[in-house]
Amino acid sequence: MYAGQAWLRRKRIQTEQKLRALEQRAEREERRSEQLVASADGSRRGRPVRIEVDALDADEVSGQPSTRRCRSPGEDDPTPHQRYLRIDVDDAHWKAFRVAALDVGLTAGRYVGELAEAAAYENGWRAAPLLSN
């Protein structure tokens, strides 16, 4: 008799745990659908990331951003400035992107910054980099 009651008690506890898990999952899905509706206008779409970009004037640009050295004697290397950007990328691509950044010896933020600077050059938003001889 006691074994039967203990078994019933365990089953009741397991059922309550499953019910709580399902309720939590339903709440998460509801919050997610609310976020999707809220972001339908595109204002909060994408992964927020910190990027590092050089704040140089157009006439001072030369070479790849990560390979720039002293601009004049006694002057330090250009210091990248941190900015925030939202990029539309899923988790799998973001992981691959971070691996690609490490392969070239850059942080993910610096790598994204270089891509943003390259896109700015291509779109004419900044002067084209000077070619080294």
Q: What is the pLDDT of residues 48-84, one digit of tens each?
A: 888 887 765 545 555 555 554 445 555 565 667 788 8
How far is the C-alpha of 40 from the C-alpha of 21, rounded, in Å? 28
How far is the C-alpha of 126 from the C-alpha of 132, rounded, in Å? 18
Instruction: With beta carbons less than 8 A apart as the criterion, state whether 108 and 98 touch.
Output: yes
Joined together, the tokens standing for residue 53 give 């970009």
DSSP string, 31-92: HHHHHHHHGGGSTT-SEEEEEEE----GGG-BS-GGG---SSTTPPPPPPEEEEEEE---HH
Q: What is the pLDDT of residues 6-59, one digit of tens each?
A: 999 999 999 999 999 999 999 998 888 877 776 666 566 678 888 887 765 545
pLDDT band for position 113 (cuts 50, 70, 90)? confident
